Amino acid sequence: MNGQDPAHLPHRLRALVEAELQSGERLVWLGQPIPGRLARGTWPIVLFGVPWTAFALFWTGMAAWGTSQASEAGSGLFRAFPLFGVPFILIGVAMLSSPYWARRRALGSAYAITDRRAILFAAGWRGSVTIRSFEPERLTDLRRKQHADGSGDLVFAQDLRRDSEGHRHATDVGFLAIRDVKGVEELVRTLAQRHG
C-alpha cells in the first residue's frame, strides 16, 4: 500500500477507516491532509480578522469608557451598551485562530483509496467526522492543483451552496493538501479505468 501506514493515524480515525471498509475491500492508499498547507489557506481570513478585531476592541473600549463617563441616572440598557461589541470581538478571535482550527481539522481527517472507491473522512465540530464515498464512475472528471514540492489538491467535485444574498459559492471536494498529488491522481485514475 502506498501512502501513510494506518498505524500512524490517531486511534479513533484508524478505527473509522477500518469500520468503513466493506467485506473483501482492500485499502490501496491512505493519507491525511498536510496541516500546514491547510493552515496557510486561512491567511486571508486572518488578515481580514486583524482590522476587524482591532476595531471591535476599540469600539467596545470606547463604549465602555463612554458609559462610565455617563451619569449614574443612565438606564441599565445604556450601561450594557459595551456588551454589543462582545460578539464582534468573538468573531474576530475566531478569524484570528482559523489556522489553529484548520490544523486541528487536518489532523482529524483522512483520505483513502480502496480497490472499489475513494473515501473522504472530514473532521467536523466536536469530534464529528463526515464520511463521503466516491465510486469509480464519479471519479472521471479530476482536477489536480499541484505545488512546486509535489503536494496539492486532487478535486473530484464541487459542492455548491447559496448564501443569504443568493450568491452561489463553490467548495472543492476531494483529497486536499496531500503529498505526491500526481501519484495519488494516477491511483484514482487507475481505479476509475478498471471499473469503467
Joined together, the cell numbers standing for residue 45 give 481570513
| 143, containing H or E segment | strand 143-146
> CA triplet 146, 150, 152: central angle to 5 degrees?
40
CB 80 within 8 A of CB 63: no
DSSP summary character for residue 45? H
Question: Closest Cα to residue 134, out of 122, 150, 152, 147?
Answer: 122
Residues 107-143: tens digit of each pLDDT: 999 999 999 999 999 988 788 899 999 999 999 889 9
d(C-alpha 187, C-alpha 28), whole Å: 8
pLDDT score recorded for residue 76: 57
Joined together, the cell numbers standing for residue 187 give 491511483
pLDDT score recorded for residue 58: 93
Q: Which residues does residue 144 pair with via DSSP β-bridges, in sequence order?
A: 154
CB 185 within 8 A of CB 142: yes
Q: How confident is the model at residue 92 (pLDDT cuts 50, 70, 90)?
A: very high
d(C-alpha 3, C-alpha 52), whole Å: 41
Residues 16-45: tens digit of each pLDDT: 899 999 999 999 999 999 998 888 888 899
CB 17 within 8 A of CB 9: yes
CA dist 84 → 1, 59, 64, 77, 78 (Å): 55, 10, 10, 11, 11
CB 33 within 8 A of CB 177: yes
Residues 153-192: tens digit of each pLDDT: 999 988 888 777 877 888 889 999 999 999 999 999 999 8
